[in-house]
Amino acid sequence: MNLAEYYWWFESVIPEALCDEIIKYGNLHNKKLATTGNFTDEKLNKEQEEKLKKERNSNVVFLDEAWIYKEIQPYIYVANRNARWDFQWEMSETCQFTTYGPNQHYDWHCDSFKKPYDKPPFRKGLIRKLSMTLSLTDPEEYEGGDFQFDFRDTKSKNILTCKEIKKKGSIVVFPSFVWHRVTPVTKGIRNSLVCWNLVWNETRWDRNKFTFISRV
């Protein structure tokens, strides 16, 4: 798959007051340690938890609120069109409110899975196609926590720090098979909102077999 644009961003488009409202609402819920596809059991033993934290260490809660989708989904549509991906997507997953404190991070990963969802029923047969991240915290309130892309899955080449998403209220949208990470936060608290957008899986594809065409 050839992509002329590997991500699309909108700087400071969500009002700061609304960002604060999302943070406030997210903090009303009990957050739990975020897991990955390798750690789906909520009751991890100490060894499993330590191994997980080397890969992903953050606290999350899922928010399924219409007022949040109303604010973010228009930007996903615009990015999909303007970047010329033209992916056909059916629905959004429940939004994930994520908090990174000191020394917390999320190592290299992509959001798509090798196989479509097989459960729960309302997502069965769907795959992640477009990912979105919204920055909720003023960059003056934390250090570290950079959002980075790796465009060739080499872990060392073509790594780009997405500076466009640093400002509070900024959004970045990208294909879910693109590798990315959040570097360790060294000071303060970094809050973000993540949303994945799904499509029915009609054909099989290999997320590792694609080529990016950069204009940079």
Instruction: Determine the Cα–Cα distance for residues 51 and 131; give it in Å rounded to an integer.
Output: 25
Tokens at residue 115, please? 């196989």
Asked if residues 182 and 147 have their Cβ atoms less than 8 Å apart, the reply is yes
User: Which stretches within 144-207 are classed as H helix?
Assistant: none
Mean pLDDT of 49-57: 88
Domain that holds residue 80: 2-212
Instruction: Determine the Cα–Cα distance for residues 12 and 82; give it in Å rounded to an integer.
Output: 18
Instruction: Determine the Cα–Cα distance for residues 140 and 138; give it in Å rounded to an integer.
Output: 5
E strand or H helix at 98 = strand 95-100
Above 70 in pLDDT, residue 103? yes
Mean pLDDT of 138-154: 88
pTM across the whole model: 0.85
Instruction: Determine the Cα–Cα distance for residues 213 and 129; give it in Å rounded to an integer.
Output: 19
Mean pLDDT of 198-203: 66
Query: In total, how many domains does the chain have?
Result: 1
Above 60 in pLDDT, residue 205? no
Mean pLDDT of 95-112: 95
**CATH label of the domain that carries residue 112:** 2.60.120.620
